[in-house]
Structure 1
Amino acid sequence: MSKNYWIVADVSCDLPLSYIEKQERFRVMPMPYQKDGEEFLYKPGDEKDINAYYDSIKRGALYTTTQINAAEYYSCFKEITDSGEELIALPLSSGISGSVNSALMARERILKENPEAEVIVIDSKCASLGTGILLHHLLLKRESGADIHEAAQYAKETIPKVLHWFTVSDLNHLYRGGRVTRSSAFIGSMLRIKPILHVNDEGRLIPFDKVQGRKKSIRELANKIEENIYPKSNQPIFISHFGCEEDALLLKSYLQKSLPGISEYLIAPQSRIIGAHSGPDCIAVFCLGLKR
């Protein structure tokens, strides 16, 4: 079976450059973000300079993001299909971004020009290293010999099993992003309330619970993974963070105690794309479970 097909994602998958560079036929597209009317492009590897971005958001700077446009997807897809190769694209969740629609428009244009081209676009319904861990398992599936249709089916079956659990320390950023009300943000900040959120089956960010105190919220993330991970599995666990690596390491230590059978962890900073939405000191954890 042919493994000569590409897997295409975007930088919101939060996979570090060191991981990306080890993969074959794996394209991670840049994404635009804006501040004060000026547009920037976030590319793989830009996480090396992320601290200044973290600090500016903590000081109250507001950033916005926009989807990858259809022309950019078309250019990427055409480069691959013109060489006679096939591809699967997994854009950022449609519950967060319109990138999926752009990719579908590009696919339609490619197929009009070349009806024999094989371009599969799948709504990842994932974000951050949730997309990253989905891609990780998909890359392993391709390496095992799965052809493009088997790999696409595997991705569709795996997406509902990708667990996303996260918390933030600052409710004000969630308020600015429309995730909580002004009164909830004010009262929560006064009482040191920390929300527990997840990504649901539609790929949307949803408040799930709340606890008092940062350390308790991190402990609760570990509890959610312990409760919902595939039992007796030795799968990887991915952790992303927005400028709080020490907390990410604390979460890892909790998981190592409660899940001694897990041997592989990946900890990475959140991209500027995800960080613009998640806010300061966000910490998130991802794995495969029975259901979201």
Structure 2
Amino acid sequence: MSYKLVVDSCTDLTEELKKDPRIEVIPLILQIGDYTVLDDENFDQLDYIKRVAESDTCAKSACPSPDRYKRAYECDADDVYVVTLSSKLSGSYNSAILGRSIYLEDVGEKNIHVFDSLSACCGQTNVMLKIMECADAGLPFEEVVEKVEEYRDHMDTYFVLDSLDTLRKNGRLTGMKAIVATTLNIKPVCYAIEGTIAQWGQGIGMRKALIKMAELAARRIVDPEKKTLMITHINCYERAEVVKDLILSKVNFKRAIIVDGAGVATTYAGDGGIVVTC
């Protein structure tokens, strides 16, 4: 059975995956004050980081429309698998679900499943890679959905950012003291729990926070040899390499992949941010 992958643009892809004809990326809209840009293949990360730094206005994003998702479902593939940002962090999931309903009503029956990643960035990519693994193995649609949802439910997402201000100002943090943490150079080690953001620990300075994050990921992982370690970085590849080496020195994964963050990841993780999923 042929299949298609539809992912929103917070799904950070490698250069190889960007060329895969089975994958269609649905762009979110990014905004800094009066400046608006699509998070697509033309996104210029360094220019965007510069604009964020120079603006007094907090950067934000807007999810794609249901019709944009519906159009992505209009294809010859037998099965369509969709991966979105956590429904607790964005309206992208709800748009994808509504787009599916409109498609089924207007066009007719089709195997379309929308996965709420309960994550972001490379977490979405991790879910997508599991879909590809199962679909390429020839599993039927229902079994792919079951296995991928089980994989997602046992996947952890961690991150350390230079600043939590953008997340806080956009209402993505609840009960976390972003301003105090930034002022004292305390870098919180955060993680996703049921799709929302919580703080696990902290370190004084970026390096100590990254070490704590690596230790946490290595301690909590189950069956790492069956999983993919994925790391999203925002303009800090060397930092991502350090995190990868720290984690791999403690546990062995099936594979380890580093990806550069696209526009949504850059908006919320910010320059120097690191996100890990496994």
Match for residue 96 of structure 1 among 89, 92, 95: 89
Letter in 2 for 1:216: K
Question: Deviation at 1:122?
Answer: 2.5
Question: Deviation at 1:196?
Answer: 0.8
**Partner of 1:7 in structure 2?**
5
Question: Deviation at 1:279?
Answer: 2.5
> Is the CA contact (8 Å cut-off) linking 2:230 and 2:256 kept in structure 1?
yes
Letter in 2 for 1:15: L
Match for residue 218 of structure 2 among 220, 226, 238: 226
The SS at the match of 2:113 is strand
Structure 2: where are the runs of 5+ without partners? none
The SS at the match of 1:285 is strand
1:25 and 2:25 correspond: no
CA distance 1:67–1:150, change in 2 (3 Å): same
1:249 and 2:241 correspond: yes
Could you tell me the TM-score, scaled by structure 1's length? 0.86
1:86 and 2:84 correspond: no
CA distance 1:182–1:151, change in 2 (3 Å): closer
**Partner of 1:72 in structure 2?**
68
The SS at the match of 1:284 is strand
Question: Deviation at 1:254?
Answer: 1.0
CA distance 1:76–1:189, change in 2 (3 Å): closer
**Partner of 1:279 in structure 2?**
270
> Is the CA contact (8 Å cut-off) linking 2:3 and 2:77 kept in structure 1?
no
- Deviation string, structure 1 residues 157-181 (Cα, Å, up to 9, x no partner): 1211121011112244444334569
Match for residue 228 of structure 2 among 230, 236, 255: 236
> Is the CA contact (8 Å cut-off) linking 1:54 and 1:243 kept in structure 2?
no
Structure 1: where are the runs of 5+ without partners? 288-292
Cα distance in 2 for partners of 1:282, 1:69 equals 28
> Is the CA contact (8 Å cut-off) linking 1:130 and 1:164 kept in structure 2?
yes
Cα distance in 1 for partners of 2:202, 2:193 equals 17
**Partner of 1:290 in structure 2?**
none
- Deviation string, structure 1 residues 95-131 (Cα, Å, up to 9, x no partner): 1111111112111111112333222222222210001
> Is the CA contact (8 Å cut-off) linking 2:60 and 2:170 kept in structure 1?
no
Number of residue-to-residue matches in the alignment: 277
Could you tell me the TM-score, scaled by structure 2's length? 0.90
Match for residue 34 of structure 1 among 31, 36, 41: 31
**Partner of 2:59 in structure 1?**
63
Letter in 2 for 1:57: V
